[in-house]
Amino acid sequence: MGKRTVLYDQHLAAAARMVDFGGWDMPVAYGSQIEEHHAVRRGAGMFDVSHMCVIDLRGAAVRTLLLRLLANDVARLTEPGKALYTCLLRPDGGVIDDLIACYLDERWYRLVVNAGTADKDLAWIREHAKPVGVAVVPRRDLAMVAVQGPEARAKAGAALPAALRERAAALGVFFAAAGDDEWFVSRTGYTGEDGFEVSMPAESAEQFWDALARSGVKPCGLGARDTLRLEAGMNLYGNDMDETVSPLESGLAWTVAIDAARDFVGKEALEAQRKSGPARKRVGLLLLERGVLRQHQRVRAGTAGEGEVTSGTFSPTLERSIGLARVPAASAGTVEVEVRGKALPARIVKPPFVRHGKVLVE
């Protein structure tokens, strides 16, 4: 039996199909995965993401610590509530995890890290935090619900505590607001749609979930979350990047503030890789014939060499198969993907495939 979120019984009551995900028993779908996907693209859907780990970092040296640990530059975060997406790197440039970091004040930052990497993330952060006196506090007392879609902010706002509604409605993209009694709302997400990710005391999660359901927000599982994030061109840790791959090979160069004067773990390795030119790159793939792209399928890029699909699925929005792949840097145009023993043509495109309900590739 895996770990369970506080909303586990809600999922069972809604006839969710449960699966193991990073050691947690999580809903993969409540019925039709495609209907859940479309609900987010066209209206509003909600996801239990309480398996993810919220980490509070507190202390006088917290900004100094994160300037050293994170590839993106937290010095850019000067307004309370401002957040950024970044990676935690090994000295060789490999990705330990990707995460969101939010600045609350000079002594308090909040991180949200992946469920499957939380333990190693905490160990790595604590190793560096202890010498500088920064407290590292995993907030397992909190639940988290993501509400996503064009109608998500309006419907989620009505379910928030009254004292937080006006502040939540005024949030810009990648901003957050801390309310009373440990409520915390950020205008972030993992679907390519607008919405909120809301943290709250675990004992408040069931009431919040039920209020969203009454307002017409559709419960959605991991299956729809994966097709949505892949359409949006967003990486999944463990598929599209890991400790053996750098951000420069994962389509994440934009998350690395490599030209800033500060030093950070992994910078030297990334500078060397940038100078020589990464041997591989991340691309999007559109399959040109019937079939479904899946992780680990071989990609043949002619004289450029071979790569592999890192994430693949049938796109409900495009009604065709799409994927992300890591291929030789010289790859371009059309490639062949080995699908069930057949070499099928696929066209290289630049992700995302879909954002805010709009198809961005042809």
What is the pLDDT of the chain when averaged over all its residues?
Answer: 97
Q: Distances from the Cα of 146 to the Cαs of 127, 186, 349, in angstroms?
A: 31, 9, 29
Could you tell me the pLDDT band of residue 22, with boundaries at 50, 70 and 90?
confident
Tens digits of residue pLDDT in 84-126 = 999 999 999 999 999 999 999 999 999 999 999 999 999 999 9
Cβ burial of 27 (10 Å; 0-12, 13-18, 19+) is: buried
Mean pLDDT confidence for 5-13: 97
| Share of residues in the chain with pLDDT > 70 (%) | 100
Pairing assessment for the beta strands 195-201 and 184-186 based on DSSP bridges: antiparallel
Tens digits of residue pLDDT in 59-69 = 999 999 999 99
Determine the angle formed by the axes of helices 118-129 and 62-69, rounding to 10 degrees: 120
Which domains can be identified in the chain, with CATH numbers? 8-53+140-231 (3.30.1360.120), 279-359 (2.40.30.110)
Is the per-residue pLDDT at 2 higher than 90? Answer: no
Q: In the prediction, which pLDDT does 317 show?
A: 98
Provide the phi-psi class of 168: left if phi over 0, else alpha when psi is between -120 and 50, else beta: alpha
Mean pLDDT confidence for 273-292: 97
Q: Are 222 and 262 in contact (CB under 8 A)?
A: no
Is the per-residue pLDDT at 339 higher than 90? Answer: yes
Q: In the prediction, which pLDDT does 140 show?
A: 96
Is the per-residue pLDDT at 1 higher than 80? Answer: no
Mean pLDDT confidence for 273-284: 97
Is the per-residue pLDDT at 208 higher than 80? Answer: yes
Mean pLDDT confidence for 287-299: 98
Q: Computed over its alpha carbons, how large is the radius of gyration of the chain?
A: 20
C-alpha to C-alpha distance for 230 and 238, rounded to whole angstroms:
14
Q: In the prediction, which pLDDT does 117 show?
A: 97
Mean pLDDT confidence for 18-28: 95
Mean pLDDT confidence for 141-170: 98
Mean pLDDT confidence for 165-190: 97
